[in-house]
Amino acid sequence: MSVALDIATHLQSNGYGPIGNGLSINKLMDTPNNQVVVYQSPVGMPAAKAMGTTIILQYPSFQIVVRNTSSQTAESTCEAIHKLLDGAKGLTLNGITYYSVEATDTPFKLTEDDNKRYLYAFNGRAVKDQS
């Protein structure tokens, strides 16, 4: 499983989404206007290995992007997701143990698109068992 799917599943279970309708994975859709996207980031630490070859822990990175027609709502939704994820410990998501999830920065404004929709984001990382 990808960290993006696992984090999206956690967001869905906490009232965001459902996946495919207002919550998506690795792609910002044209519609709906108001949505949350979880991207798997290519940046991350190398996996921890035991005895040199067997992967025991992974350290994936992700990005959360929130888009809304209201700047205030986009920002507050991004902040609420940040609060939910930052410092989370001991999660089991899609059968994978996540020892910790943390934000690596605070929510920030990305842009306003041509359709007057506001985008806010933050980046995060996790420590998890091998998928």
pTM: predicted TM-score of the whole model, two decimal places: 0.91
User: What is the C-alpha separation between 122 and 129, in angstroms, rounded?
Assistant: 23
CATH of the domain at 67: 3.30.2000.10
pLDDT digits 0-9 by tens, 16-50: 989 999 999 999 999 999 999 999 987 666 655 55
Structure confidence at residue 47 (pLDDT): 57
How many helices and strands in the chain, by DSSP H and E?
2, 7
The parent domain of residue 62 ranges over 3-129
pLDDT digits 0-9 by tens, 77-120: 999 999 999 999 999 999 999 999 999 999 999 999 999 999 99
User: What is the C-alpha separation between 101 and 103, in angstroms, rounded?
Assistant: 7
Averaged pLDDT, 40-62 = 73
Total domains in the fold of the chain: 1
